[in-house]
Structure 1
């Protein structure tokens, strides 16, 4: 039933999404968490301030964080943001990752045994490529099948051209959240062959070295900061403590995956797998060894192991072991092996569906999974969430245009004759100011300098003394260096209760850090005590914000 229809089906859904995004434009509901509040704005700032290629330049957030703490200029996804304006770049990345994911999955499927079905590999590859997660690493997420394909072909053919492909692969990937695991898995495979089969393939050893060098060269800034900088990272004091229940996390990730690398496997793929395993176990007359020898079962065990690792990460003792053995990995999240489960689930799905003889069943399962991935409102499903927010839900969250409100902030900057003075945000994400090219003392970054973390903590200490939840949150991680207030959150909702708040900051520290302006979504009741001067309130018809602007007065040394 699907014969010769894969390209038409894929083209239909892609064209539907493209037309939709062109019509909706910047009124689309793009993911804010770990997206518009961070990486997208980092890339915009580096482009706008012409420091994308610079070494040791200052990015205008977190009081001028060093450029070397930000994403590499050699990764293709980042280059797209350098070349194109933000919203078009975002869509180019989204559609490019779909094509890259289909291509990668298609190539890998050709190497997965004698049986091969082009239509199935394209359609299941399409559903894999559509998957959502951490948008800043979309290319890394969908290109995992590509590096596996390169390694398999190198092992089979020994053709030296694959060394070149492997060397350049890191421009599609990222080291700390994907590369280090790929290198680890490859090392384990080499050791497995050596110990269990008494085979040592020099091609894979060379590939391991070449891939490592590729990552080091592509992300030389990361390695410079991590290994050769005298400046400590705030990750060196990350203390997450005892986490969630091991069994709840393990079972939860098995059933639902992890939101930064979603698999959406629970409703169709998982039942198909379980039905197949029961059937095969009966067919093998419960011969466990024969059952375990099947590649589908081995991939399923890999999935389960990744879920168990995710559960183990929640235990403080497990993180301490890693940190004591390899100190530079302090704060590293080794539970991200779970980010490899999406490709495992979809390869499993492909291998099992390949064996189903009923064509109508195959069509129902494959098309059903595509529809599920496209339309289910979930983290970073910008297409599904835009439909949901526009047609099925009371509009309380902000879309892209509203979140950044360029007209409003341009109006404020024009009124101030703004000239790169340092500012902070109260009641909204600092990335909104950064996007509008306003220099901030606050910001969101997962690995900025420890010295600045301590300086910023002094600034917000008066609030942390009153707000135990935020004190625990900031001291455990410190990634969000925000001006917290128990009276107002920073969630991007359109309407907030209009009330006056007490702002609890160290006014002397604000002065010492060079702060001048405070942009707030609420009136500050104690502004005079903080030696602030109220300038004006600002609003704009297309923006949900009302911004109350304050300026630091004179005589702030006490």
Structure 2
């Protein structure tokens, strides 16, 4: 009983327990849980697994490659070894490592937001519950936690820099700035978090005519820590280039609808919902809170008082609108720049959107401060928590699984990775060839190559954010016939190309062809000779090819498994 009473007296502890209870439906299902697929299970989880499998976590020599990816992807193209997420994949199997990492990220997000609010928003003891509830709403937001604390962890560096700015130069603030890069992604978020903090300090110096040297030193320490963690990448790009990345051929304008209306539509989406990698959720509750706070202040003192009290909120909203406009019109803004500097598309400056969730919650907190009703404040925070949960595809789909109403095209981990099915295929091929999987290469049609890589196949295709441009040019002849049939796929590959896949014009951008679809590709144009020349031998297809001989392929066998999402047709390229 005393323990229970102690917990009730600590709202932050209650919030932590609530967070764990909310995520129990995900974790307790084990292999039958739903894991976010797009840009996550199909693109990220196999990377730390393969780094450990091949023992190259800290091997940054120029000649070091990961042989299971793209015939030997250079090690320096992948995430750094000094990363907590990568470390977890070395201690646990991929799925337990993923859920453990997610729970730790969300608990860290809750703790960081709670500390920030208690210090700088609601220091009064009476507001501990409100701070804990807001921190819980923050920690429950949809997020790609495979990137660590890149988005949900932003309260931590902000808390540390604000402490240093206020003259509270304790060891904990310095430690946060040293450790944050060990669990976040510099390319996706770190560089933009540093830039955002720098802009904030510049505005502060301009307003108060005072240089907060400790805060600037803390920011420099954050940058230095990122440089240490990401040194292999920085060295391979800035000091001794390891390869020409395929990103220099990016043409974002080719992939986005042209014109003002398209840019405006994208701006509205960025402003109202955000970007899915950082956190995509409807901002309506926050805007409702602003409206209610404005109405209350208006009633108390008219327009003048409302404007004065909510001025910081209005400035933040203006900044968020400008950020959304920049992201929404970015392809149009970049197009003329690329006519002068074609490689400018390699740098995605829209990643400043990783700052927007923190800025939106700053709007929420500042608006809540203007409301006098404690019940109304808690009610709005509770509503924001609900919005965050229902916007979270992992939470929603796992809840649906428990209720016996699974989404038709959202397979579980066991169904998507299909270890039993692919184990049979690999054993059959090793027996057929008399060689281990390392001796031959496969490519995949209708499903992500990450599935094969997680099952210890060696693939010529993959979904990678960074790989050598020459490899993209070597791979293109394999799919040139299909690209010629589809202008959309041709732009998708030529102007982007992160998905270096076997494409089919008939399948389009359907990279999740389940066996229930019974998909048949009537005419598949595939260059089997180029495939063989690149080292390929077998094609694993989730769709049946009606005339495989026209593509230089021969059907060996069809594979089915009741626990798998896929039906796999195994083809061999004719010599």
Whether TM exceeds 0.5 here: the answer is yes
What are structure 1's unaligned runs of at least 5 residues?
A: none
Partner of 2:419: 406
Q: Which runs of 5+ in 2 are unaligned?
A: 1-6, 431-435
What is the CA–CA distance in structure 2 between the aligned matches of 1:40 and 1:289, rounded to whole Å?
Answer: 48
Q: Deviations over 1:349-387 (max 9, x none)?
A: 23333443333323322223223322x1x4x53121222
Structure 2 equivalent of residue 76 of structure 1: 84
- In structure 2, how many angstroms separate the alpha carbons of the residues matched to 1:62 and 1:104? 39
Q: Alpha carbons of 1:6 and 1:320: their partners in 2 closer, same or farther (altered >3 Å)?
A: farther
SS of structure 1 residue aligned to 2:119? coil
SS in 2 for 1:232: coil
- For residues 335 and 459 of structure 1, the distance between their equivalents in structure 2, rounded to whole angstroms, comes to 32
Alignment map for 1:520-531 (pairs within 5 Å):
520-531=541-552
The 1-side partners of 2:338 and 2:176 are apart by 31
Match 2:243 to one of 217, 222, 231: 231
Residues 152 and 266 (structure 1 numbering): CA distance in 2 closer, same or farther, change over 3 Å? closer
1:240 aligned to 2:252? yes
Query: Contact conserved, 1:120 with 1:354, CA < 8 A, in 2?
Result: no
1:281 positional shift: 5.5
Q: Superposed, which structure 2 residues align to 1:528-547 within 5 Å?
A: 528-547=549-568
Aligned to 2:4: none
Q: Does 1:124 align with 2:134?
A: yes
RMSD of aligned alpha carbons: 2.7
- Residue in structure 2 matching 1:90, options 98, 109, 128: 98
In 1: Cα distance, 2:331 partner to 2:344 partner = 16
Equivalent residue for 1:518?
539
Matches of 2:410 and 2:393 in 1, distance apart?
15
Shift of 1:87: 1.0
State the partner residue of 1:428.
447
More moved, 35-44 vs 126-135: 126-135
Cα-to-partner distance string for 1:256-276 (whole Å, 9 max, x where unaligned): 222222253434222111222
Work out the CA distance in 2 between the residues paired with 1:294 and 1:199: 22
8 Å CA contact retained: 2:293, 2:370: no
User: Are residues 347 and 189 of structure 1, via their aligned partners in 2, closer, same or farther at CA, if it must alter by over 3 Å?
Assistant: closer
Q: Identify the match of residue 155 of structure 1 among 156, 165, 174.
A: 165
| Aligned-pair CA distance for 1:211 | 1.9
Asked if the contact 1:61–1:442 (Cα under 8 Å) also holds between the matched residues in 2, the reply is: yes
TM-score using structure 2 length: 0.88
Which of the residues 368, 372, 375 maps onto 2:387?
A: 372
The answer to whether the 8 Å contact 1:463/1:505 transfers is yes
Match of 1:99 in 2: 107
For 2:300 and 2:306, how far apart are their aligned partners in 1?
A: 13
- Measured after TM superposition, the shift of residue 188 of structure 1 is 2.1
User: Equivalences for 1:181-192 in 2 at 5 Å?
Assistant: 181-192=192-203
CA distances 1:385-411 after superposition (whole Å, capped 9, x unpaired):
222355445533311110010001111
Given candidates 50, 53, 58, the residue that maps to 1:48 is 53
How far apart are 1:104 and its partner, in Å?
0.7
Do the aligned partners of 2:167 and 2:214 also contact (CA within 8 Å) in 1? no
Structure 1 partner of 2:527: 506
The answer to whether the 8 A contact 1:423-1:438 is kept is yes
Distance 1:494 1:524 in 2: 14
SS at match of 1:205: helix
Q: Which residue matches 1:496?
A: 517
Equivalent pair of 1:277/1:297 in contact (CA under 8 Å): no
**Cα drift, residue 484 of structure 1:** 0.6
Give the aligned partner of residue 3 of structure 2. Answer: none
| SS of equivalent residue, structure 1 residue 118 | helix
Alignment of 1:435-450 (within 5 A): 435-450=454-469
Residue 409 of structure 2 corresponds to: 396
Aligned-pair CA distance for 1:19: 3.8
CA distance in 2, matches of 1:495, 1:255: 36
Distance in 1, matches of 2:368 and 2:121, equals 14
Residues 1:222 and 2:233 aligned together:
yes
In structure 2, the CA distance between the partners of 1:205 and 1:269, relative to structure 1 (3 Å rule), is closer
Distance 1:12 1:427, change over 3 A: same
> 1:396·1:495 contact (CA, 8 Å) conserved in 2?
no
CA contact (8 A) 1:323 1:329 kept: no
